[in-house]
């Protein structure tokens, strides 16, 4: 059985003080909840507050982005060694906003994935099509290409801890959501592509999350789909009550 993973991507919101208040309100709402793996992904400036605040709880903490190099002259970047040193356990890789606004390519996603796996960070690798690609009927092609290039050089043994997040980009921050059936279809395609590259056993064990305007009122329909193994939640994760409701779908 694949244990569902529900991750909060706070994006560029919350100061350290706001993050600390969030955790104080959030932890009592999910105490004892062990059906799902719960992960908070704050901005880098709040990692040092959130990680100690959740210590000893059932909540893990991850970063939203990292550089592929372990260290170097890369002004403004965060390395995997920095993240692991402070206790981060997860990392979001290739989010659609990183691809859209910062020109991250599939090849760069692959390099970051290799670094995360080397240092035992659980990578949440994001893939997904934009509206024009979906309307042109290219969704399958785009997803196959993205997952194939992300997994270059990855062995079945490496893949054990990889998490994939399917993000229909047209549904992020727009209020639009893929229907549960549309999302499940995309997840099935992704899993079949992983099976083709790494084997059916690996594909059956990898968790594939849905990310795209997940809210308390649509979480039940989405997360009860057998191919959907959790959610990467954006805006609805910024409120502790809202995020807890999604977790308790």
Q: Is 12 exposed, middle or buried (0-12, 13-18, 19+ CB in 10 A)?
A: exposed
DSSP single-letter state for residue 63: E
- Return the structure tokens found at 129: 């099509």
**DSSP secondary structure string, 149-184?**
HHTTT--TTGGGG-EEEE--GGGSSSS----HHHHH
Please provide the DSSP assignment of 74-89 as one string. Answer: -TT---HHHHHHTT--
Q: How far apart are CA 249 and CA 244, in angstroms?
A: 9
Residues whose CB falls within 8 Å of the CB of residue 237, separated by 6 or more in sequence, listed in order: 8, 9, 10, 40, 243, 246
Q: Spot the catalytic one: 104, 133, 167, 193.
A: 167
Catalytic, 167? Answer yes
Largest CA distance in the chain: 48
Catalytic residue, from 67, 95, 104, 133: name it: 95
Give the Cα-Cα-Cα angle 121, 146, 217 (nearest 5 degrees): 75
Of 45, 38, 39, nearest to 18 by C-alpha is 45
**Residue 71 is among the residues annotated as catalytic for this protein:** no
Residue positions annotated with a catalytic role: 95, 167
């Amino acid at each position: 059985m694949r244990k569902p993973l529900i991750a909060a991507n706070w994006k560029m919101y919350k100061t350290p003080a706001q993050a600390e208040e969030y955790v104080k309100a959030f932890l009592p709402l999910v105490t004892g909840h062990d059906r799902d793996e719960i992960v908070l992904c704050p901005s880098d400036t709040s990692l040092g507050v959130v990680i100690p605040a959740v210590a000893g709880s059932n909540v893990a903490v991850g970063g939203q982005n990292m550089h592929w190099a372990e260290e170097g002259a890369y002004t403004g970047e965060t390395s995997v060694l920095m993240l692991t040193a402070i206790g981060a356990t997860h990392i979001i890789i290739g989010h659609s906003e990183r691809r859209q606004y910062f020109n991250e390519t599939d090849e760069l996603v692959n390099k970051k994935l290799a670094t995360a796996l080397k240092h035992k960070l659980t990578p949440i690798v994001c893939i997904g099509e934009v509206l024009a690609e979906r309307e042109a009927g290219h969704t399958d092609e785009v997803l196959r290409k993205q997952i194939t290039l992300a997994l270059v050089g990855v062995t079945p043994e490496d893949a054990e801890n990889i998490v994939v997040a399917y993000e229909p980009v047209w549904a992020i921050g727009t209020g639009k959501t893929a229907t549960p059936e549309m999302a499940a279809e995309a997840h099935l395609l992704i899993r079949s592509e992983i099976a083709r590259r790494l084997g059916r056993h690996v594909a059956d064990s990898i968790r594939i999350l849905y990310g795209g305007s997940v809210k308390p009122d649509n979480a039940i329909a989405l997360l009860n789909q057998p191919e959907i193994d959790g959610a990467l939640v954006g805006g609805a994760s910024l409120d502790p009550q809202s995020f807890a409701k999604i977790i308790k779908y």
